[in-house]
């Protein structure tokens, strides 16, 4: 059974009559040209995996005003996520899709955010991501990353994939970079440092890698990629 | 000769799976593109490398 949840009016909007969409738009317009905002508001980006990479990517995209987001993850927020993921103690036990939806609605309640709480397999990649022009791969396990990237590139011929690969530990932050590896594939990370017992994922490098992914997405949308 | 990740390799006649195993890759953790076409995981064992092929092997590591 696949659940589709549409964005509902968040509590924050009901309780905060002081900010309007026009004010948020004006704040953006003071810093960037109007055409840029319009491109971002029209853009659609899917994020597969809502852990350290995916939650940080989604927050960056929401802050940047990317208008249409699809958030996909099967998992619940766990105490082991708090060291690097966007979630907070009140989110423990919630589906990551719902927790992240709530966080994004507090950043910009006028975004169109779809969520799917489901495990991604090579069998449902087309149904989930077909038609999405940009998909961020933000999974944790290497076999799942390879499955998703391979399936997206072979099944979704118009989709550009922005993947995260190698960001564990406390190595040099400058080793994390963005590379175009294939015609429709960008890979961010150091390509080598994997999470292992005693050498886990730390917030800074995960956020840096997520920042690389989100930045590449914005470049692709704006047309400077 | 087969060009794999930019290097010339004596891999013509091998399946992609055999090449990956010989080169020390874990097949479940890679994406393989041959002549600009993604090779699905289930076809790695039935796809032969030929002289002049150009192959990219992308290896994924854990963490996200």
Contacts of B26 in chain A (CB under 8 A): 142
Structural domain contains residue A64: yes
d(CA A171, CA A204): 10
pLDDT at residue A8, as a whole number:
58
Question: pLDDT tens digit string along B11-56?
Answer: 999 999 999 999 999 999 999 999 999 999 999 999 999 999 999 9
Residue A186 host element (H or E): strand A185-189
B5-13 own/partner pairs: CB under 8 Å, 24+ apart: B5/B55, B5/B56, B5/B57, B11/B49, B12/B49, B12/B50, B12/B51, B12/B53, B13/B48, B13/B49, B13/B50
- Report if residue A84 sits inside a domain: yes
Q: Is residue A9 part of a domain?
A: no
| Domain contains A177 | yes
Nearest to B61 among A54, A147, A166 (CB): A166
Indicate yes or no: CB of A140 within 8 angstroms of CB of B29: no
Which residue in chain A is spatially nearest to B34 when comparing CA positions?
A182
Cβ-based contacts under 8 A for chains A and B = 82
* pLDDT score recorded for residue A161: 98
Q: Is A48 on the interface with B (CB under 8 A)?
A: no
Q: Which residue of chain B is at minimal alpha-carbon distance from A152?
A: B38
Domain that holds residue A208: 31-222
Cβ within 8 Å, pair B61-A193: yes
- Comparing alpha-carbon positions, the chain A residue that sits nearest to B30 is A146
Q: What are phi and psi of A106, to 5 degrees?
A: -80, -15
* Residue indicated by tokens 């002049």: B52
> Of B24, B29, B33, which is closest to residue A141 (Cα–Cα)?
B29
Q: For the domain that residue A37 is a member of, what is the CATH number?
A: 3.40.50.720
Q: Which positions 62-121 of A are in contact with B (Cβ < 8 Å)?
A: none
Q: Is residue A184 part of a domain?
A: yes
State the pLDDT at residue A1. 44
Q: Is residue A4 part of a domain?
A: no
How far apart are alpha carbons A200 and B62 in whole angstroms?
10
A47 domain-assigned: yes
Report the sign of the C-alpha dihedral through residues B39, B44, B46, B51, in that order: positive
Three-state secondary-structure class, residue B55: strand
**Residue among B38, B40, B61 whose CB faces A192 most closely:** B61
For residue A50, give how far its alpha carbon lies from the nearest alpha carbon of chain B (Å): 9
Residue A202 is predicted with a pLDDT of 96
Question: A135: helix, coil or strand?
Answer: strand
Of B28, B31, B40, the CB nearest to A149: B31
- What is residue B35's predicted lDDT score, i.e. its pLDDT? 97
- Give me the residues of chain A with pLDDT under 50, please: 1
The tally of CA atoms less than 13 A away on the side-chain side of residue A28 is 21
Number of domains in chain A: 1
What's the fold here for domain B2-59?
Ubiquitin-like (UB roll) (3.10.20)
Measured distance CA(A166)–CA(B47) in Å, rounded: 29
> What is the residue extent of each domain of chain B?
2-59
* Partner residue facing A142 (CB), from B36, B40, B61: B61
Q: Are A96 and A50 in contact (CB under 8 A)?
A: yes
- DSSP-derived 3-state class of residue A144: helix
Q: Does A154 touch chain B if contact means CB atoms closer than 8 Å? A: yes
The Cα–Cα gap between A13 and A106 comes to 8
Q: A125 is written with which tokens? A: 């990649």
How many whole angstroms separate alpha carbon A204 and alpha carbon B7? 34
Q: Which residue in the block uniquely carries the two structure tokens 């924050």?
A: A12
Residue A82 lies in a domain: yes
């Amino acid at each position: 059974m696949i659940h589709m949840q549409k964005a509902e009016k968040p509590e924050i909007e009901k309780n905060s009559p002081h900010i309007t969409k026009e004010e948020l738009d004006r704040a953006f317009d003071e810093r960037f040209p109007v055409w840029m905002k319009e491109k971002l508001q029209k853009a659609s980006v899917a994020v597969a995996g809502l852990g350290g990479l995916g939650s940080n990517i989604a927050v960056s995209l929401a802050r940047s005003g990317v208008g249409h987001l699809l958030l996909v993850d099967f998992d619940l927020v766990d105490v082991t996520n708090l060291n690097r993921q966007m979630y907070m103690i009140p989110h423990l036990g919630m589906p990551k899709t719902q927790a992240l939806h709530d966080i994004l609605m507090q950043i910009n309640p006028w975004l169109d955010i779809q969520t799917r709480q489901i495990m991604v397999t090579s069998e449902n990649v087309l149904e989930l991501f077909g038609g999405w022009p940009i998909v961020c791969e933000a999974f944790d396990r290497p076999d799942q990353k390879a499955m998703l990237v391979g399936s997206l590139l072979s099944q979704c011929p118009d989709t550009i994939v922005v993947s995260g690969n190698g960001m564990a530990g406390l190595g040099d932050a400058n080793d994390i970079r963005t590379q175009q590896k294939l015609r429709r594939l960008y890979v961010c990370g150091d390509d080598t440092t994997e999470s292992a017992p005693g050498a886990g994922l730390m917030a800074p490098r995960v956020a840096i890698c997520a920042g690389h992914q989100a930045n590449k997405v914005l470049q692709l949308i704006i047309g400077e990629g | 000769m087969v060009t794999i990740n930019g290097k010339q390799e004596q891999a013509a006649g091998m399946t992609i799976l055999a090449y990956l195993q010989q080169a020390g890759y874990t097949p479940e953790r890679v994406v393989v593109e041959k002549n600009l076409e993604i090779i699905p995981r289930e076809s790695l064992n039935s796809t032969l490398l030929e002289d002049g092929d150009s192959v990219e092997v992308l290896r994924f590591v854990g963490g996200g």
